[in-house]
Amino acid sequence: MFLSKIIGSDASFRTKIVTLLGLLILFAVPLLANLFNEPFLVDIASRILIYALVAVSLDLILGYGGMVSFGHGAFLGLGAYVVGILTHHSYEGTAVAFLPGDWQGTTQAFVQWPLAMILSGLLALIIGALSLRTSGVYFIMITLAFAQMLYFFMISIPTYGGEDGLNIWERSEIPLLDLYDAKSFYFICLVLLLLCLWCCSRIVKSRFGMVLRGCRQNEVRMKALGYPVYRYKLMAFVLSGMIAGLAGALLANHTEFVGPGLMHWTRSGEIMIMVILGGMGSLIGPVLGSATLLMMEEVLAGLTEHWMIFLGPMLVLIVLFARKGLYGLLIGKGTDNG
């Protein structure tokens, strides 16, 4: 790649360059938006960050754990619904359905967001416990089936909008911060994403992470070494679900709407495309993937509604020629053990 010729061949050096450049761009977005007088830019960038968060969560189990979960929309959607439902009741002053007592919800982010993570984690525990008993194509199909079940479940509950979804009349509240301010919201997303990336980068290098990566490479061997691989994979699955749940909570605030579409399998597919496009098994890859896919959508959808026509060939090329995705193109070889 000509880019790699410019910035040298040392993979770890290039990783640093790419990371620094990425950070610079991310922090500069609000400034650029001011400069070009395009406040809408911050909005798109926030969306990119939120989807980057889901993509990273999927990559944790897909790229590092070898678990092809085709139902990640379920966790994203559940996280979003938690915020949507709590805000709905808080706004209407009614009790949360299906719960004893008469808790009327809340708009406090410090209650909503952790709850979104916990519930998504619990959902991941249930789905994972069952689907991790299978592997390969069966695993893909079962995770897909669970997400679709949830999708139809949400459609069938009229209390929470059914097919039409729920409008969110109030964004979450954080003391001293205004989530309606596009820049504040952007920086909250950015901080959460960076926090998540930092934690994940520690996790994948830890003993737990090494076991997870070992399972992807050769699960039979890991068992023969004495690792109860099911438990480790399930743990990773739950962690992943929690991060996706947090992303869902952010997304609900971003769009001020939550609908069953978040859980539809096409959404899960989009998240997977982001991971593959950006590069599996790296943490920066999914961020790149999210940025690329959403910007393509933004630009190309303005030209034609069939913008996916461009996405298809690009994905084919990436899969054929750059197994490590866009990140692999930037870094070159030696991305495996970072």
Residues that bind other proteins (CB under 8 A): 202-203, 205-211, 213-214, 217-218, 220-229, 232, 235, 336-337
Q: Give the pair of three-digit tokens for residue 176.
A: 């001293």
Closest distance between other proteins and the C-beta of residue 201, in Å? 10
Report phi then psi at 300, rounded to 5. Answer: -75, -35
Confirm if 72 and 244 have CB atoms less than 8 A apart.
yes
- Enumerate the β-bridge partners of residue 174: 177
Per-residue CA distances from 43 to 38, 49, 126, 151 (Å): 10, 10, 34, 27
Report phi then psi at 165, rounded to 5. Answer: 75, -175
Q: Give the pair of three-digit tokens for residue 335.
A: 């991305």
Closest distance between other proteins and the C-beta of residue 38, in Å? 41
Closest distance between other proteins and the C-beta of residue 133, in Å? 13
Closest distance between other proteins and the C-beta of residue 31, in Å? 34
**27: Cβ contacts below 8 Å, ≥ 6 apart:** 190
Nearer to other proteins, 236 or 330 (CB): 236
Nearer to other proteins, 209 or 241 (CB): 209
Q: HSE on the CB side for 277, CA within 13 Å? A: 23
Nearer to other proteins, 159 or 206 (CB): 206
Nearer to other proteins, 217 or 304 (CB): 217
Nearer to other proteins, 268 or 335 (CB): 335
Closest distance between other proteins and the C-beta of residue 96, in Å? 33
CB atoms within 10 A of CB 34: 13
Closest distance between other proteins and the C-beta of residue 247, in Å? 20
Nearer to other proteins, 16 or 231 (CB): 231
Per-residue CA distances from 20 to 80, 132, 140, 275, 336 (Å): 31, 37, 35, 20, 20
Nearer to other proteins, 129 or 308 (CB): 129
Q: Which of 80, 75, 92 is nearest to 169 (CA)?
A: 92
Closest distance between other proteins and the C-beta of residue 228, in Å? 5
3-state DSSP of 229-256: HHHHHHHHHHHHHHHHHHHHHHHHHHHC
